[in-house]
Amino acid sequence: MIYRLTENTKEVFGEMLTQIELTEDCKYGQMGALGGYIRSISNLRDNAWVSEDAVVRGDAVVCEDAWLYGNARISGNARISGSARIFGYACIYGYAQVSGNAKVLDNASVYNNALVYSYARVCNNAEVSDNAKIYDNAIISGNAQVYDNAEVYGDAAIYASATVKKNAKVSGTASIHGRSKISGTFDTSPLQIQGTRHFFNISKENEIIIGCNRESIDYWIENYKDLGKKAGYTDSQIKEYKSYIDLAKSLSNID
């Protein structure tokens, strides 16, 4: 163990926490450097470190080579391990786990049995919860939400105000953003195309979002001209998006 408890304490949400201090020179600083606050030595193990204004509460564990800093908050039964980095105003709680080389930062939250690992990143105001899994090189950012057994992996990116839920799986190089809502199970990544006006998304099976309009594929095929004109699209843009709709229809017919 590379630290000891000091006599400095503070109360956080009804729990009395104690500041820690390095007992040897290491990558985190020199012997005597003050760190963050923990409830007890059971919160911080191995070569892990908590620094700056970060705190570990409840029965949460930070272990191995993990590092918690900034104003990060870990509580409940959360576990941070491997070489994970938690910083900014990030919050990890419940039975969530962050491991490997994953990073959770800014105002992001990971909770309720969610898993973030490998080289995944969760940042900005993103939320990952309810048994969701984020791994490989996936990025969850902005105000995005991933929950309800969903998985995001590969080089996929979920950002802005997008939502991924209900057992959905997003992988490969898929990029989902805006107000897209992805649900259900996909054998391949949902299609997204950045058109000249708005993003084109297959938000779930047989459903397309273009701009703020969410309709079935068949409805788009029948009404794409009227919808395009109402949105102020030019004739060439309407033709462009019709080609995307036709592609979505073709993909929906693949077994």
pLDDT tens per residue across span 75-111: 999 999 999 999 999 999 999 999 999 999 999 999 9
Flag whether pLDDT at 188 surpasses 60.
Answer: no
CA atoms within 13 A on the CB side of 67: 14
In sequence order, which residues have a C-beta less than 8 Å from that of residue 17 and are 6 or more positions away?
9, 10, 11, 37, 38, 39, 55, 56, 57
Domains present along the chain, CATH in parentheses: 1-105 (2.160.10), 109-190 (2.160.10), 191-255 (no CATH)
The answer to whether the beta carbons of residues 53 and 71 sit under 8 Å apart is yes
What band does 208 get if pLDDT is binned at 50, 70 and 90? confident
Query: Which tens digit of pLDDT belongs to each residue from 127-168?
Result: 999 999 999 999 998 888 999 999 999 888 888 777 888 887
Taking the C-alpha atoms of residue 57 and residue 12, their distance in angstroms, rounded to an integer, is 8
Longest dimension (CA), the chain: 72
Angle ∠(35,86,65) on CA atoms, nearest 5: 70
Spatial separation of the C-alpha atoms in residues 34 and 147, rounded to whole Å: 37
Phi, psi of 254 (to 5 degrees): -80, 130
